[in-house]
Structure 1
Amino acid sequence: MALVPAPANPPQAAPKPAPYVAPPPLTGTARILGTLALSAATFMNVLDTSIANVSLPAIAGDLGVSPNQGTWVITSFAVSTAIAVPLTGWLSQRFGQVRLFVTSIMLFVLTSWLCGLAPNMGTLIFFRILQGLVAGPMIPLSQALLLSSYPKALAGLAMALWSMTTLVAPVIGPLLGGYITDNISWPWIFYINIPVGFAAAFITWRIFQNRESPTRKLPIDSIGLALLVVGVGSLQIMLDKGKELDWFHSGEVIALAIIAVVGLIAFVIWELTEEHPVVDLTLFKRRNFWAGTLSLSIGYGLFFGNVVLLPLWLQQFMSYTATQAGWVLAPVGLMALLLSPVVGKTISKVDPRRYAVFAFLVFALVLWMRSRFSTQADFETIMIPTVIQGVAMAFFFIPLLTITLSGLSPDRIAAASGLSNFVRITAGSFGTSIATTVWEQRAAVHHAQLSEYVNQGSLAANSAIDGLRSSGLGMQQALASINRMVDQQSYTLAANDVFYASAVIFLMLIPVVYLTRPGKPDAASGDAAAGAH
């Protein structure tokens, strides 16, 4: 039997692609400029969550809606950002971290410009939704790129520098928003993003374009994403419109509630059976993750709801200008700036649950102090709790993130960070809607109670009316002035109710923190640095 000669050139197996090698850390001027550019983009993003707070009455008045309807400017941005955050991992693997980050910045600039041009509230809310969607990937990607710029030994320093921008932005936001609103016009709170965004995008691209992450095509869970948008979006719209439509006496609110419940139940069922889910819900099987996320999200919702409520009360019923309201809110980050580095350095040596409980106790104290406010409260009395609140903020985020991410393998950190951020940001937007709704409802109750004392048999009421009439007012004008005073007292008492209830809920969160197990501090704190915010 003749042997078949072997071919001269046997076919070669397809070469395997070389494994991805992470680029070396940046050095010198490139690292400094890269850090500044990434921090500027983060600062711009976080600023837009707080700069509009003190501008809501001006925006609402200019666009012909009530100040409480104006809160949609905040909640629409928050909800759309939350929905976009879980997509960051898929988008960055599909297009690359650097390209996605720079594109997000440029789209953020474009949508900021469109927000400033909005002719009515509906258009402004639509552009804010778009702005939130493109903003979603910016914060997680800024962290990833910053960590890749520093050696592992300096990862803590990198995150400390990054955290400073997230703490400074809430300080600058109300001040800047108030000044722009009072001295220029509210659209400029959005226009100021344009030069900052262009500069950040240009520097980032110049420095990081040759440090692109590997890309690959992955399937997108389009059904899960659609169910997420429908469920969360319907729930948020229901919360925002409920107070206008008398809640479940309205067919529209009932329909939104049904859509939200069905959408979210279908979303959970789908995600638990999907091979490539947009959100990894199996993380909630871990006690530390669900208890940490629950504590972080409820606490953030309470904090954010009260941060929106305070300037509304000050401007509508205490005759504060937007700038003055900004000054009241500005010190919230000062103590956090001073104490956050201390927390970061000691978190590996202290049970993070103790820090979290301390934060809850300080938040409860701050809100109890606010629940004692009256219409006679002066500027210093109102500002003192804001200063103290910075202490709580310093001990709030890092310990709870440490608890939430502790014990997870490195390959699950990104998914866990994205999911906890989604829940936290969504809770913040819900907190805003719930706080303003409860405020209005309690104000109506207090108004009815106080009005009972304004009658012909009341000596105090008759004396007040006589005093107003003796100053030259007519009977109707005098009654209108009395009604204004009743309104002021009603909304002040209602704000006190919200503050007091929030303080109680913070105390109720303490046992939830102790449902978690203390993890390995060193590993957990490193994970938290990688997944913060």
Structure 2
Amino acid sequence: MNHPSFRPPNLTLATIGLCLATFMQVLDTTIANVSLPTIAGNLGVSSDQSAWVITSFAVSNAIALPLTGFLVRRYGETRLFVLATLLFSLASLLCGVAQSMGVLVGFRALQGAVAGPMYPITQSLLISIYPANKRGQALALLAMITVVAPIAGPILGGWITDNYSWPWIFFINVPIGIFASWVVANQMKGRPEKLEKPKMDYVGLITLVIGVGALQVLLDKGNDLDWFESSFIVVLGIIAAVSLTVFLIWEMTDKDPIVNLRLFRHRNFAAGTVTLTLGYAGFFGMSLLLPLWLQTQLHYTSVWAGLATAPIGVLPVVLTPFVGKYAPRFDLRVLASFSFIVLAATSFMRAAFTIDVDFASVALVQLLMGLGVAFYFMPVLSIVLSDLHPHEISAGSGLATFLRTLGGSFAASLTTWIWQHRAIEHHARLTEHISVYDPATQHAITQFGQGSLARAATVMDQLVQGQALMMSTIDYFNMLGWLFLGLIAVVFFAKPPFAPKGGGASAAAAGGH
């Protein structure tokens, strides 16, 4: 039976409800980061144990994301979104009242799991309720949330923890989640959805949970445990490799897979997802290393490091309405390429930094990088979804978001490892020519150690270590610059047209494929 194209009674209110819930969910991926020392102190655990507050959320969220397509087919987009948002609010409340680390980690895992479908369904619902000529604006709005929320998270989390108490970083979600779910439930009432009863793919589900869970923990703990020098990491690596291999083979051959990997048969989805994943990994790696370098080497406080990096969000907020309105008139591959050129240029600018760089220079490059970010997410997201059939959009968005998230996890682990590893290499190279018989070294001993070799050695080692980390930072930003330039070639594997074909289940119910 054919249905007229569904429009909510108030498009603006529906958009606010969807975006508010998604902003809350994306914000929670980073809001607890700066509060970990306070949480650890209050609950009487070590800083290593408190890191599971972040890890548990990331693991369960990564597992839930690719299941979005299966859950949508079974329960429908609107019902699943409202339920997930309400459960997210409940899990947030339970996190705030937790009295032990074990309980908090458990509720953070629940929070991450129910958050999984929220972002992909928001993407699908926005496409379905906006007319074709306005869908670019809807995706641009979602892209702005993707950029601004992770930046706002640590700043807001630090402010709440300093001025109130850490449970409030979770309590603030409760009224927001309830309001957003009520708005979406009312605005989407009567939206036609085609429900199915797919059989549960237990082999796919079990191998996904084990494989992704093991991989995520491996990535989160690898640096702390010295990677494959640790038997725990080796075991996790074997479990992840075996489970994910079985998962891939099974899902590609099963008649009704829990994760539809056949979506990669679509050229634009494949090219767009690779571009999205690698581009986000580079963006995430930069966002991690820059504050770390500012705090450890330039001795910025966490607040000042946050303020130095925050300008990256300014231009995406200002330009989003214009990008959303006018971008569909252009070849989105060209806009994405412009984004990569700006991202590469700002990476090379950071590679020219020295340990004497001032706050204004750091902030200015961040502001300029925002221009690249503003033209990155909306065009790439549009390319990802452009050749999917309407009923595939939720599943495709979930799968692409999962791979983007996994790219961020790889970037988080590899960034720290590359930075430290390259610094060790530079340190060794810088010290190999130092000799107590060298006149320059003898002068340094006199200058730094006042005749004491031990004191001079300590001071000189600190200087060399700082220089080695600076050289390692330069190496990393140069590497990011070339990565972004390389993505220009990847994005041109996609072929126009790039307009999404319509929205989710309702379009399918309305006679879509």
TM (norm. structure 2) is 0.85
User: Cα gap change, 1:60/1:492 in structure 2, threshold over 3 Å: closer, same or farther?
Assistant: farther
Specify the code of the residue in structure 1 equivalent to 2:235.
Answer: A
Measured after TM superposition, the shift of residue 310 of structure 1 is: 1.9
Secondary structure of 2:29's aligned partner? helix
AA partner of residue 420 (structure 1): A
Partners of 2:411 and 2:324 lie apart in 1 by 28
Q: Once the two structures are superposed, what CA deviation does each residue of 1:320-377 show, in whole Å capped at 9, x if it has no partner?
A: 2221122122111221223333333343332222222222221111111222222222
Shift of 1:277: 0.8
1:134 Cα offset (Å): 0.9
User: Matched residues in 1 for 2:502 and 2:371: separation?
Assistant: 22
Change (3 A) 1:315 1:189: farther
Alignment check: 8 A CA contact 2:260 2:395 kept: yes
Q: Which residue does 1:509 correspond to in 2?
A: 487
1:168-207 equivalences in 2 (<5 Å)? 168-207=148-187
Give the secondary structure class of the aligned counterpart of 2:197: coil
Residues 189-338 of structure 1: pairs in structure 2 closer than 5 A: 189-208=169-188, 211=191, 213=193, 215-338=195-318
Change (3 A) 1:125 1:505: farther
Q: Which residue of 2 aligns with 1:64?
A: 46
Amino acid at match of 1:514: F
Q: Alpha-carbon deviation of 1:319? A: 1.8
Q: Measure, in 2, the Cα distance between the counterparts of 1:60 and 1:279.
A: 37
Counterpart contact for 2:347–2:480, Cα < 8 Å: yes
Equivalents in 2 of 1:119, 1:480: separation in Å? 44
**2:417 maps to which residue?**
437
Kindly report which structure 2 residues correspond to 1:68-147, keeping only aligned pairs within 5 A, or say none.
74=54, 76-116=56-96, 125-147=105-127
- Between the aligned partners of 2:360 and 2:156, the Cα distance in structure 1 is 20
- Of the structure 1 ranges 485-494 and 459-468, higher mean CA displacement relative to structure 2 is found in 459-468
Deviations 1:383-427 (A, max 9, x none): 122111111112212222333333333333333222222211111
Structure 2: tracts of 5 or more residues without a match? 508-513
Does 2:501 align with 1:519?
no
Rate the CA distance shift 1:124–1:362 in 2: closer, same or farther, 3 A. Answer: farther
Q: Please list the CA deviations of residues 199-236 of structure 1 after superposition, one character each: whole Å capped at 9, or x if unmatched.
A: 32344345445557454432222211221222222222
Alignment-derived partner of residue 6 in structure 1: none
Give CA-to-partner distance per residue, 1:482-529, whole Å, 9 cap, x none: 55444443333323222222222222222222333x2224x358789x
Say which structure, 1 or 2, has more relative contact order (CA 8 Å, 6+ apart): 2
Deviations 1:284-323 (A, max 9, x none): 2343332221121111111112212222222233222221
Deviations 1:438-469 (A, max 9, x none): 22222333344445577645666666666666
- Counterparts in 2 of 1:3-18, with a 5 A limit? none
- Between the aligned partners of 1:272 and 1:391, the Cα distance in structure 2 is 39
CA distance in 2, matches of 1:57, 1:325: 17
> CA 1:373–1:36 in structure 2 vs 1: closer, same or farther (change >3 Å)?
same
Q: Give the letter aligned to residue 72 of structure 2.
A: S
The 5 A counterparts of 1:361-372 are 361-372=341-352
Q: Compared with structure 1, are the counterparts of its residues 199 and 242 closer, same or farther at alpha carbon in structure 2 (3 Å cutoff)?
A: same
Quick one: percent identity of the two aligned structures? 46
Deviation at 1:481, TM superposition (A): 5.5
Question: Cα–Cα, structure 1 residues 298 and 481, in superposed 2: closer, same or farther, change >3 Å?
Answer: same
Aligned to 2:329, what secondary structure does the other structure show? Answer: coil
Report the 3-state secondary structure (helix = DSSP H, G, I; strand = E; otherwise coil) of the residue aligned with 2:47: coil
Listed as ranges, the matches of 1:292-441 within 5 Å are 292-441=272-421
Once residues 438 and 38 of structure 2 are traced to their aligned partners in structure 1, the CA distance between those partners, rounded to angstroms, is 38
Partners of 2:443 and 2:460 in 1: CA distance: 11
C-alpha distance 95-511 of structure 1, shift in aligned 2 (>3 A): closer
Report the AA paired with residue 61 of structure 2: T
Deviates more, 1:79-88 or 1:224-233: 79-88
Aligned-pair Cα RMSD in Å: 3.6
Contact 1:44 1:193 in 2 (8 A): yes
Residue matched to 1:7: none
Per-residue CA deviation, residues 152-204 of structure 1 (Å, 9 max, x unaligned), is 56544544444444444245334323433554455543333233223323443
**Equivalent-residue separation in structure 2 for 1:179 and 1:134 (angstroms):** 26
Q: Secondary structure at the match of 1:393?
A: helix
Kept in 2: contact 1:115–1:127 (CA 8 A) = yes
Question: Pick from 13, 30, 33: which aligns with 1:33?
Answer: 13
Q: Which moved more, 1:321-330 or 1:154-163?
A: 154-163
1:11 matched to which residue of 2?
Answer: none
Structure 1 residues 56 and 390: CA distance shift in structure 2, 3 A: farther
Unaligned runs of 5+ in 1: 1-18
Distance 1:256 1:165, change over 3 A: closer
TM-score, length basis structure 1? 0.82
CA distance in 1, matches of 2:286, 2:108: 21
The whole-number CA distance in structure 2 between the counterparts of 1:457 and 1:275 is: 74
* Distance (whole Å) between structure 1 residues aligned to residue 296 and residue 133 of structure 2: 50
1:432 to partner: Cα distance: 0.9
Would the aligned equivalents of 2:139 and 2:381 in 1 still touch at CA under 8 Å? no
Q: Does 1:498 align with 2:476?
A: yes
Amino acid at match of 2:481: A
**Distance in 1 (alpha carbons) for counterparts of 2:295 and 2:35:** 10
For this pair of structures, how many residues does the alignment match?
Answer: 504
- Say which SS state the counterpart of residue 436 (structure 1) adopts: helix
AA aligned to 2:295 is Q
Greater alpha carbon shift after TM alignment, 269-278 vs 165-174: 165-174
Q: Which amino acid aligns with 2:8?
A: L
**1:47 corresponds to:** 27
Q: Is the 8 A contact 2:8 2:187 kept in 1?
A: no
Moved more, 482-491 or 230-239: 482-491
